[in-house]
């Protein structure tokens, strides 16, 4: 049993102290959760999109899942030895009602640079974007092997 000083009011008891400590623990727990909630959401919401690379007889196919993006949000660059994909979407929503001002901004960005094999035909690349799925087809060129005499 806890000892209480004589100047405490008569209604003060150990159960009151337990109740206060429980409220304090709950308050700290809720505060910590509210601090870490944005980090938890960031971790689950902003992950790297799914990328699939596979090779067929005459081509390479790169498929990237970019939900929520439009064709205009995606930029594809091909250099001599790499394929770069950049997707960026920004949105801004403002509301003014009953003396209150609401501003909601969102930004999503994706960048990936993939090395290309030597046998990719540089000038002939086909792309398509449908329902959040970007498909890039890279045709192969035939590499001739010189025979030694």
DSSP string, 50-84: PEEEEE-SSEEEEEEE-TT--GGGEEEEE-SSEEE
In this prediction, residue 147 carries a pLDDT of 45
Q: What is the pLDDT along the chain (149 residues), one digit of tens a residue?
A: 555 566 656 555 556 667 777 888 888 877 776 666 665 555 544 557 788 888 888 888 999 888 888 888 889 888 878 888 888 888 888 888 888 888 888 888 888 888 888 888 777 889 998 888 999 998 888 766 554 44
What residue has token string 């390479």?
60
Kindly report the pTM of this predicted structure: 0.58
Structure tokens at 47: 């992950």
**In the chain, what are the domain boundaries?**
13-47, 51-140
Using DSSP's 3-state secondary structure scheme, residue 22 falls into helix
Structure tokens at 109: 């960005």
- CATH of the domain spanning 51-140, picked from 3.20.20.70, 3.30.70.2190, 1.20.1250.20, 2.60.40.790: 2.60.40.790
CA atoms within 13 A on the CB side of 123: 0
């Amino acid at each position: 049993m806890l000892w209480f000083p004589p100047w405490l009011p008569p209604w003060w008891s150990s159960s009151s102290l337990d109740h206060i400590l429980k409220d304090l623990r709950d308050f700290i727990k809720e505060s910590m959760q509210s601090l870490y909630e944005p980090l938890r959401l960031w971790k689950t919401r902003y992950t790297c999109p799914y990328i699939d690379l596979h090779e067929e007889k005459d081509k390479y196919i790169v498929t990237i899942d970019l939900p929520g993006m439009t064709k205009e949000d995606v930029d594809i660059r091909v250099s001599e030895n790499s394929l770069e994909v950049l997707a960026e979407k920004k949105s801004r929503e403002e509301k003014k009602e009953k003396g209150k001002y609401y501003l909601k901004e969102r930004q999503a960005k994706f960048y990936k640079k993939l090395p290309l094999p030597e046998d990719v035909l540089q000038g002939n690349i086909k792309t398509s974007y449908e329902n959040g799925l970007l498909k890039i087809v890279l045709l192969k060129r035939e590499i001739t092997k010189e025979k030694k005499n």
